[in-house]
Amino acid sequence: MTEVPEHLRKKAAEARAKADAAKAGPASSTEETALTAEQQEAASKIPAHLLERSKAAGAKSGGGEAGGVVVTTPGAGAPAATAGGPVLTGPGGNTQRLLTVVKSGSIQDTKSSPQDKVHTWPHLLVAEFAAALFITAFILIFSIFVNAPLLELANFNETPNPSKAPWYFLGLQELLTMFHPMVAGVTIPGIGLFVLILAPYIDRNPSAKPEDRKFAISLMTIHLMFWAILVMIGSFFRGPGFNFVFPWEAGLFFEL
List pLDDT tens digits, range 73-90: 444 444 444 445 555 555
Q: Which of 98-107, 111-120, 153-162 has the lowest mean pLDDT?
A: 98-107
232: region left, alpha or beta (phi > 0 left; psi from -120 to 50 alpha) = alpha
Q: What pTM did the predictor assign?
A: 0.44
Residue 135 has pLDDT above 90, yes or no: yes
Name the residue ranges covered by the structural domains of the chain: 6-93, 119-150, 159-256
Return mean pLDDT, the chain.
Answer: 76
Helix (H) or strand (E) holding 73: strand 72-73
What is the average pLDDT across 154-182?
89
pLDDT at position 81, please?
45
Q: Looking at the predicted structure, is the pLDDT value of residue 33 above 50?
A: no
Name the pLDDT band for 182 (thresholds 50, 70, 90).
very high
How much is the pLDDT for 228?
93
- How far apart, in whole angstroms, are the C-alpha atoms of residue 215 and residue 203? 7
Which is more confidently placed, 125 or 118? 125
Q: How far apart are CA 35 and CA 27, in angstroms?
A: 12
Mean pLDDT of 135-147: 92
Q: What is the pLDDT of residue 69?
A: 44
Calculated CA dihedral for residues 172, 174, 177, 179, nearest 10 degrees: -50
* Class of CATH domain 159-256: mainly alpha
The model's confidence at residue 107, banded by pLDDT at 50, 70 and 90, is: low
What are the residue ranges of helices labelled H in the chain? 6-24, 29-33, 37-44, 48-60, 125-145, 170-176, 181-182, 188-202, 214-236, 247-250
Considering only residues 65 and 240, tell me which one the structure prediction assigns the higher pLDDT: 240
Per-residue model confidence as pLDDT tens digits over 218-246: 999 999 999 999 999 999 999 998 899 99
- How far apart are alpha carbons 210 and 205 in whole angstroms? 11
* pLDDT for 87: 54
Rounded to the nearest 10 degrees, the angle between the axes of helix 188-202 and helix 214-236 is: 160
Bridge partners for 66 per DSSP? 69
Q: How confident is the model at residue 67 (pLDDT cuts 50, 70, 90)?
A: very low
At 75 the pLDDT is 45
For residue 54, the model assigns a pLDDT of 76
Question: How many angstroms separate the Cα of 178 from the Cα of each of 2, 39, 175, 188, 230?
Answer: 86, 106, 5, 12, 11
Residue 5 or residue 31, greater confidence: 5
Low-confidence winner among 31-40, 90-99, 244-253 (lowest mean pLDDT): 31-40
Q: Is the pLDDT of residue 151 over 80?
A: no
